[in-house]
């Protein structure tokens, strides 16, 4: 990852995230974008210039160390009112700023104060994760055209997403050497370069077996050679399949299934796998935590929500669910009973 164009104060922090904390290149790239935007804003305010005209290299130690809490609040207000960013985006930016200042106040000990320390994160709406029902999941799998040259590969990708709950980055990063020779299990590399083993069900084994039989031949049929020999999933060009390619074909399948405007995405397949395992498969939440590779149990617990169908079944299970009033036993309410206080009824 090239950090050479960034100010040294950012390079030190990003290198720490990448090399010491083991964050992925994508995560570090997001930190970089968030902090560059914040520092550009701070410089524009200090220099009276538009954001796109400031030089980020002016953000030296003295400048950044002396930024105030008011600057942080002002930046969050700018994101909300000018950029119209949602609370989740503003919270993410603030998190990057807090992590940055924590590094320089607690690790490097170069800053005496942290202007972001007491700044509260925007309140986020707690929404249930969006996921496909079991019926929708089967419809998605069945929607793939068997005449498509990439059918075996794409079906294998979908069944792995829906069965194992892996992240997009984890799936495209799978190597042939990560797959057990008996196709019983495979290893994925998650956040922070942490590896975990996922066991494969019969559907995954079958899909993998079918794909591996045609993996090399499909590349040769496109008059290409395999460039990334160890990559499990290959593009038409014989290279490791990209995240964008996977996102594109999954989006296309959602459209084919009539699910275009339902808010589904590749990441929602991970939500679906987790929800189906817990809801339909009764998988214990701590086991689910290991499968998904979550550090904290409370992250996994968002999948323990109850569905509308569960709620419907619960009320239907009440012993009074079939109760019908006895029409023979009517009470005359036309006359008030003596001594009855209507306000207490």
Mean pLDDT of the chain: 86
Using CA atoms, how far apart are residues 299 and 33, in angstroms rounded to an integer?
25
Tokens 């009470």 belong to 331
Reference 306, options 337, 332, 280; nearest CA is: 280
Active site residue 271: no
Please list the residues that pair with 198 across neighbouring strands.
Answer: 186
Reference 205, options 246, 152, 153, 156; nearest CA is: 156
Reference 276, options 144, 140, 135, 171; nearest CA is: 135
Strongest mean pLDDT among 85-94, 193-202, 307-316, 320-329: 85-94
Please report the pLDDT score of residue 58 as a whole number: 92
In the three-class reduction of DSSP (H, G, I as helix; E, B as strand; rest coil), residue 175 is classed as strand
- Look at residue 163 and tell me whether its pLDDT is greater than 60: yes
Please report the pLDDT score of residue 211 as a whole number: 96
Contact 75, 41 (CB under 8 A): yes
Please report the pLDDT score of residue 329 as a whole number: 59
Going by pLDDT thresholds of 50, 70 and 90, the confidence category of residue 345 is very low
Tokens 């909300």 belong to 80
Contact 233, 241 (CB under 8 A): yes
Higher pLDDT, 88 or 278: 88
Question: What domains can you pick out in the chain, each with its CATH number?
Answer: 8-107 (no CATH), 134-304 (1.10.443.10)
Active site residue 101: no
Contact 111, 49 (CB under 8 A): no
Active site residue 270: yes
- Look at residue 340 and tell me whether its pLDDT is greater than 50: no
In the three-class reduction of DSSP (H, G, I as helix; E, B as strand; rest coil), residue 338 is classed as coil
How far is CA 157 from its chain centroid? 17
Question: CA 269 → CA 232, 239, 259, 261, 263, distances in Å?
Answer: 20, 24, 13, 15, 11
pTM given for the model = 0.65
Which of 167, 215, 218, 278 is the catalytic position? 167
Tokens 């804003």 belong to 41
Which of 31, 75, 103, 303 is the catalytic position? 303
Strands (E), the chain: 185-189, 195-199
Contact 29, 1 (CB under 8 A): yes
Average pLDDT of the residues in 17-42: 90
Instruction: State both tokens at 232.
Output: 């499990």
Tens of pLDDT, residues 203-247: 999 999 999 999 999 999 989 999 999 999 999 999 999 999 999
Active site residue 267: yes
Contact 99, 114 (CB under 8 A): no
Which of 191, 196, 205, 239 is the catalytic position? 191
Tokens 């419907």 belong to 312
Q: What are phi and psi of 305, to 5 degrees?
A: -65, 155
In order, the DSSP letters of 224-281 are ---SSTTBSSB-TTSSBPPHHHHHHHHHHHHHHTT-TTTT--HHHHHHHHHHHHHHTT
């Amino acid at each position: 990852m090239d950090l050479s164009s960034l100010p040294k104060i950012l390079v030190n922090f990003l290198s720490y995230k990448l090399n010491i904390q083991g964050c992925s290149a994508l995560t570090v790239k997001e930190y970089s974008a968030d902090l560059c935007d914040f520092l550009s804003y701070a410089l524009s305010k200090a220099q009276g210039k538009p954001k796109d005209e400031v030089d980020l290299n002016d953000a030296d130690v003295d400048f950044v160390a002396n930024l105030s809490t008011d600057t942080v609040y002002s930046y969050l207000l700018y994101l909300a009112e000018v950029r119209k960013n949602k609370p989740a985006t503003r919270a993410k930016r603030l998190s990057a700023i807090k992590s940055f200042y924590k590094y320089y106040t607690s690790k490097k000990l170069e800053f005496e104060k942290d202007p972001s320390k007491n700044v509260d994160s925007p309140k986020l709406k707690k929404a249930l994760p969006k996921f496909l029902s079991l019926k929708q999941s089967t419809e998605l799998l069945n929607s793939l055209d068997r005449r498509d040259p990439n059918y075996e590969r794409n079906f294998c990708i979908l069944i792995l997403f829906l069965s194992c709950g892996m992240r997009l980055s984890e799936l495209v990063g799978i190597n042939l050497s990560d797959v057990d020779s008996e196709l019983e299990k495979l290893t994925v590399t998650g956040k922070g370069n942490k590896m975990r083993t996922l066991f494969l069900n019969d559907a995954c084994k079958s899909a993998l077996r079918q794909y591996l039989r045609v993996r090399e031949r499909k590349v040769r049929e496109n008059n290409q050679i395999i460039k990334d020999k160890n990559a499990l999933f290959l593009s038409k060009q014989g290279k490791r399949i990209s995240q964008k390619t996977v996102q594109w074909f999954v989006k296309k399948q959602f459209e084919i299934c009539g699910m275009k405007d339902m808010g589904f995405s590749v990441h929602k397949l991970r939500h679906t796998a987790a929800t189906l395992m817990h809801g339909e498969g009764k998988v214990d939440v701590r086991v689910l935590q290991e499968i998904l590779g979550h550090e904290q149990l409370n992250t996994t617990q968002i999948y323990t929500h109850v569905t509308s169908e569960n709620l419907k079944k619960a009320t239907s299970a009440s012993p009074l669910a079939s109760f019908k009033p006895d029409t023979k036993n009517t009470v005359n309410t036309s006359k008030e009973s003596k001594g009855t206080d209507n306000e207490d009824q």
